[in-house]
Structure 1
Amino acid sequence: MAEKIAFTKMHGVGNDFVIVDGRDSNDHDWSALAVEMCDRHMGIGADGLIILERTLFADLMMRMYNPDGTPDVCGNGLRCVARYAVEEGIVNKDILYIGTLAGVRRAQLHRDESGQIVAITVSMGQPQFEPASIPMHVAQEPVIDFPLEVMPGETLLITALSTGTTHAVTFVPELPDDERFLAISPLVERHPLFPERTSLMWCVLEAPNVLSMRIWERGAGETWGCGTGACAAAVAAVLKNCASPNVPITVRSKGGELIVRWRPGAEIEMTGPAERVYRGFYPLCQ
């Protein structure tokens, strides 16, 4: 009989994940399974596979794999893990610490009067602006409005930084249509100046401290939400004096809204929802 893996499908503002409690699992090739399980036609379908592991340095360890099997860091996934861990009894407190590839992150659950979880705030660490830390092959620091030539006759002004993972942010008068988005975004992701590839956040300043964005994630393509990307967009808006660090920044995407707080020199905080979709069992091929 084929082995089965128990999983829970969750999402944060439409950014969806397959979560597996791997603390007592056999040694699986999670990278290969991410490719298989995240496929939206032949698998479960998700923007990433998240594996929970034991660690001595936090309440638990979160390992996230993109649909192409590459390991990464994910802010929306972090909120999903926090809710999952509490509701499954893995952690019995509303403030918990979760290990990631970018370090240990703090998560705090917010409840309504009936005790229901309505939002989660996660610390996302300090943004990194050094080109070597992004990483990006440029000498400019910080990388603000860098003219990135995507193709002959096509240059985007890019603000690049790392919020645990590489992001390029471009502010435009209006969000791109499908033709432009699908033509340009993959070229930016794989641009030679980004040795580890990059996600691209197309952003519009809708109002003071209100951004809307369309998201291209490295290793995943278009997604409805991106927590690390929302943080990168908010930080970029502050750097460009498009938003005030004294007021929370609302970042809107196809899947919903996230609230980001950041002051220069401080850690980023992000608040948003995390929702359970369903549970299931995934059979492993023999």
Structure 2
Amino acid sequence: MHFWKMHGAGNDFVVLDLRDGRAPPSPDECARIADRHFGIGCDQLLTIEPARTPQAVASYRIWNADGSVAGQCGNGARCVAAWLVRVNAAPAQAAFMIESPAGRHPVERDAQGRFVIDMGAPRFSPADIPLRGFTQAQATYPLQLDGHTLAVGAVSMGNPHALLEVDAVDAADVAGIGAALQRHPAFPQSVNVGFAQVLAPDRLRLRVYERGAGETLACGSGACAAVAILKRRGRVRAADGVTVALAGGELHIRQRADGHLWMAGPAAFVFEGDIP
């Protein structure tokens, strides 16, 4: 099976073309491919498959490094768009549509040539996240963790996200708190955990501990979630969007009039080859 290795701001992927109807790798096979010592190495696998509706050029699914299934991946969406253009399955300049497990995503190109993805509208209802123990959306949710109360923001971007605002992301216990919140009974489907440091109304720093992958160099849906939560609190409010600085690069998130968040950022090819 041929593969392509790609990354979006350091969040890296193995891309497989399954448009001919072949079955995706099993969870064990996904984990072996994703292994950075014994496999190709990646945060997630992306399987590109036939479109589910006539409006889209293709659909894709997302498999975490541990073989579990993911519902959304913003950096992966840009890489899928770039791959489709590279193999002439989508137009290089005109807009087109792709389909993730979370729904349809219109794709555009900006003046810098970056792919810009409609990530949909954030959903704050606890039932949509899902978040147990609360019936109404709140700016923060008090969650007990190891005898301490954390003020946690939460939202769904097609996958569940929790956010902690911190004074300095470099000093945050990302792995410790992230893993503990993923096991917290308030999140029955686990959760992606972001740690945000607001630098200005139009700029923040972010680290994300992802489900099934651990901390990654970038998380597109996590960047959208952070902007959605912080904008709702009035912590960011730039009309032209917010730049989110992650370890692997920067993403630009802008909310349009219909409430949808559009994400722009890099999508790069690294190498390709064949899996025996």
Q: 2:136 aligns with which of 141, 144, 148?
A: 141
Letter in 2 for 1:259: H
Q: What is the TM-score normalised by the length of structure 1?
A: 0.90
- Is the Cα–Cα contact under 8 Å of residues 200 and 236 in structure 2 kept in the other structure? no
| 1:78 pairs with 2:77 | yes
Compute the displacement of 1:264 (Å): 7.6
Compute the displacement of 1:143 (Å): 3.2
Q: 1:49 aligns with which of 42, 45, 51?
A: 45
Question: Deviation digits for residues 70-91 of structure 1, max 9, x if unmatched?
Answer: 2211000000000110011122
Letter in 2 for 1:66: N
1:198 and 1:106 mapped to 2: Cα distance? 25
Compute the displacement of 1:268 (Å): 0.7
Compute the displacement of 1:176 (Å): 4.8
| 1:169 pairs with 2:168 | no
Which stretches in structure 1 are left out of the alignment for 5+ residues? 113-117
1:230-269 pair list within 5 angstroms: 230-244=223-237, 246-262=239-255, 266-269=259-262
1:148 and 1:264 mapped to 2: Cα distance? 33
| 1:98 pairs with 2:94 | no
Give the RMSD, CA atoms, in angstroms.
1.7
2:157 and 2:274 mapped to 1: Cα distance? 33
Partner of 2:205: 212
- Is the Cα–Cα contact under 8 Å of residues 259 and 270 in structure 1 kept in the other structure? yes
2:109 and 2:3 mapped to 1: Cα distance? 22
Compute the displacement of 1:69 (Å): 1.4
| 1:32 pairs with 2:28 | yes
| 1:14 pairs with 2:25 | no
| Secondary structure in 2 matching 1:250 | strand
| 1:189 pairs with 2:182 | yes
Partner of 1:274: 267
Compute the displacement of 1:42 (Å): 1.3
Question: Deviation digits for residues 185-237 of structure 1, max 9, x if unmatched?
Answer: 10011211000000110000012221101110011101000000000000111
1:30 and 1:109 mapped to 2: Cα distance? 34
Partner of 1:115: none
Letter in 2 for 1:65: W
Compute the displacement of 1:181 (Å): 2.2
Letter in 2 for 1:170: L
1:201 and 1:157 mapped to 2: Cα distance? 13
| 1:89 pairs with 2:84 | no
Compute the displacement of 1:10 (Å): 0.5
Which stretches in structure 2 are left out of the alignment for 5+ residues? none
2:237 and 2:196 mapped to 1: Cα distance? 16
- Is the Cα–Cα contact under 8 Å of residues 149 and 156 in structure 1 kept in the other structure? yes
- Is the Cα–Cα contact under 8 Å of residues 143 and 158 in structure 1 kept in the other structure? no
Compute the displacement of 1:126 (Å): 0.8
Instruction: Report the CA distance shift for 1:207/1:245 in structure 2 as closer, same or farther (over 3 A).
Output: closer
Q: What is the TM-score normalised by the length of structure 2?
A: 0.93
Question: Deviation digits for residues 98-134 of structure 1, max 9, x if unmatched?
Answer: 111110101113466xxxxx31100001111111110
| Secondary structure in 1 matching 2:39 | coil
Instruction: Report the CA distance shift for 1:68/1:151 in structure 2 as closer, same or farther (over 3 A).
Output: same
Compute the displacement of 1:31 (Å): 3.0
Question: Deviation digits for residues 8-63 of structure 1, max 9, x if unmatched?
Answer: 00000100000011111532434332211111111111010000111241110111
